[in-house]
Structure 1
């Protein structure tokens, strides 16, 4: 099984190749430099493995939520490659990938729930809750909320303890009192974790055609819902 994975949903830019059980990755922190870096990184990862686009089974990409600009870069690059090679695409939640990466790097967190949170700017947070049993799906729908709303939701929850936190969204002071055992604010999204999460999606038949690939912004969805409510009054 050969899957090429891309991610530019945040300040980092990463490319990974899962090739028959082995995963290699290129990762750089490249704020505002994704466009220049992504294609050379793809060439390097494929070249080092001796794999061509035509030999891939599928491409995987961090579908969001995340930076609007970063998501457009990753989605458009993935679509272009998938069209060129006539390959399907596996969209992976960027929040799920963040949680999976932290679980990989922090084995002592074991199977505990991880609250992955990205800074959505404008005093809001993208977040979801992930377990080892279902790493691709948040226990609650992924959301964009004010930090205070997120804190209240977690304080009122009945999640099994301990609970851990990961991601830059945790920097807001309102989240300091949330009952979590440990928080890694510096945690980042890695394409290698997108590739690993793509494997069960492939097995379950979740691949989509390149033309059907769409980013998940969340904030756009919230704005649309608000407009619909206003129009219905």
Structure 2
């Protein structure tokens, strides 16, 4: 199945194409505040570089956030428009899960941390699931003040398991934890390639896995995940 993944919830806007879960090509454009043009340009550039047409797409996967309110909204609009125009099914994917998936390590819990600014992260805990291609969520997605992160983790993290922090807020999150006595579990940073915003390629892979388990989403009911009221950005 040929999948188009679209993501713009973080500092990177882009699109990717995968076939049967294997990445074929992706285009990523950096920079907040340029989401509408970046997402559309990425999709156009992607198909301009491939021997494929939009009509070949069999599934659209879109990152729902949480993250940039503007970026998540724009990505959703582009994905829905593409799905409607091509008559293709669409699925929404947690952008935090898309951050966590490349960093999943057996025996470790993953904290996907997206920089929410204002002294907070958007975060959620995940574990590898050997029976599926999707990371297994261990907590709800939440807007977490960095000053309260140790307490939040103490209430949600399974005991005696090391923590690996992934996402574009990983360094800030690890630094905040070092100063908090409530948290004592071993902490590791994901590899550099795992300390970035959710990628459209990861969204495409997780979108296919979700589709094979749950089927398509209803486009009319599919919306971005904001967590807190939008105030711009």
User: Do both share a fold (TM > 0.5)?
Assistant: yes
Q: Structure 2 length as normaliser, TM-score?
A: 0.83
Q: 1:201 to 1:21 in 2, by over 3 A?
A: closer
- In 1, distance between residues paired with 2:160 and 2:212? 29
Q: Structure 1 length as normaliser, TM-score?
A: 0.83
Residue 50 (structure 1) shift: 2.0
Corresponding residue for residue 161 of structure 1:
161
- In 1, distance between residues paired with 2:30 and 2:103? 17
Q: 1:116 is paired with a residue of what secondary structure? A: strand
- In 2, distance between residues paired with 1:175 and 1:167? 15
From 176, 196, 200, the counterpart of 1:191? 200
Residue 139 (structure 1) shift: 0.5
Q: 1:160 to 1:97 in 2, by over 3 A?
A: farther
- In 2, distance between residues paired with 1:25 and 1:213? 24
Residue 20 (structure 1) shift: 4.1
Long gaps (5+) in structure 1: 104-108, 222-233
Structure 1 segments, 4+ long, off by >4 Å, are: none
Residue 55 (structure 1) shift: 1.8
Q: 2:198 is paired with a residue of what secondary structure? A: coil
Corresponding residue for residue 175 of structure 1:
177
Long gaps (5+) in structure 2: none
Asked if the contact 2:3/2:61 (under 8 Å) is kept, the reply is: yes
Residue 160 (structure 1) shift: 4.7
- In 2, distance between residues paired with 1:161 and 1:40? 42
Asked if the contact 1:115/1:128 (under 8 Å) is kept, the reply is: yes
- In 2, distance between residues paired with 1:144 and 1:137? 19
Corresponding residue for residue 13 of structure 2:
13
- In 2, distance between residues paired with 1:151 and 1:164? 14
Residue 7 (structure 1) shift: 0.6
- In 1, distance between residues paired with 2:4 and 2:161? 35
Deviates more, 1:66-75 or 1:110-119: 110-119
Matched, 1:214 2:210: no
Asked if the contact 1:57/1:87 (under 8 Å) is kept, the reply is: yes
- Report the aligned-residue RMSD: 2.2
Asked if the contact 2:29/2:42 (under 8 Å) is kept, the reply is: no
Deviates more, 1:76-85 or 1:134-143: 134-143
Tell me the number of residue pairs that the alignment of Structure 1 and Structure 2 aligns.
216
Residue 34 (structure 1) shift: 2.0
